[in-house]
Amino acid sequence: MFDIRRTESGDILMSGRLDASQAEKARAVLRTIEKSCVLDLKHLEYISSLGLGVLLEAQKRLSDAGAGLTLKNLSEHLREVFHLAGFHNVFNIE
């Protein structure tokens, strides 16, 4: 089960398991972002390479427009995966 929605504060909240079967659902929401934004991953349990690709694609698009994504509330597992993917070099991670 994966869910992605915008909170009242304007952050994007992801929860559940972002696997290959859910990547398009994430992509559809992230494509609507037009300015810098926070992704709250507090309830995201799991992410695989296709999910990472969706995040990277959004970051590249926003960067071209002078904006970017900030990732926050990563679990220990997500931090390890993001680090292995080199995302600490291309995202602002809180």
Partner 1 sequence: MDRAFRREIAALDDVFRSVDEFLSAHGIDARTQLTAKLVVEELFTNFVRHDVGGRDEVALSLATDGDRLIIRLKDFDVDPFDLSEAEPVDIHLPLARRKVGGLGLHLVRNLVDELRYDYDDRVLSVTAIKNLERRDV
CB of 5 to partner 1, least distance (A): 21
Nearer Cβ to partner 1 (33/90): 90
- 77 contributes a contact to partner 1 by CB under 8 A: yes
Question: For the chain, what is the total number of helices (H) and then of strands (E)?
Answer: 3, 5
Identify residues 17-76 at the interface with partner 1 (CB under 8 A).
Answer: 17, 19-21, 45-46, 48-50, 52-53, 56-57, 59-60, 63, 76
CB of 57 to partner 1, least distance (A): 5
Q: What percent of the chain is helix, strand and coil (3-state, nearest 5)? A: 40, 30, 30
Choices 4-12, 15-23, 30-38 (CB under 8 A): range interacting with partner 1: 15-23
Q: Shortest approach of partner 1 to residue 48 CB, angstroms?
A: 5
Q: Which residues of 44-53 are buried (b: 16+ CB within 10 A; e: fewer)?
A: beebeebbbe
| C-alpha count within 13 angstroms, C-beta hemisphere, residue 25 | 14
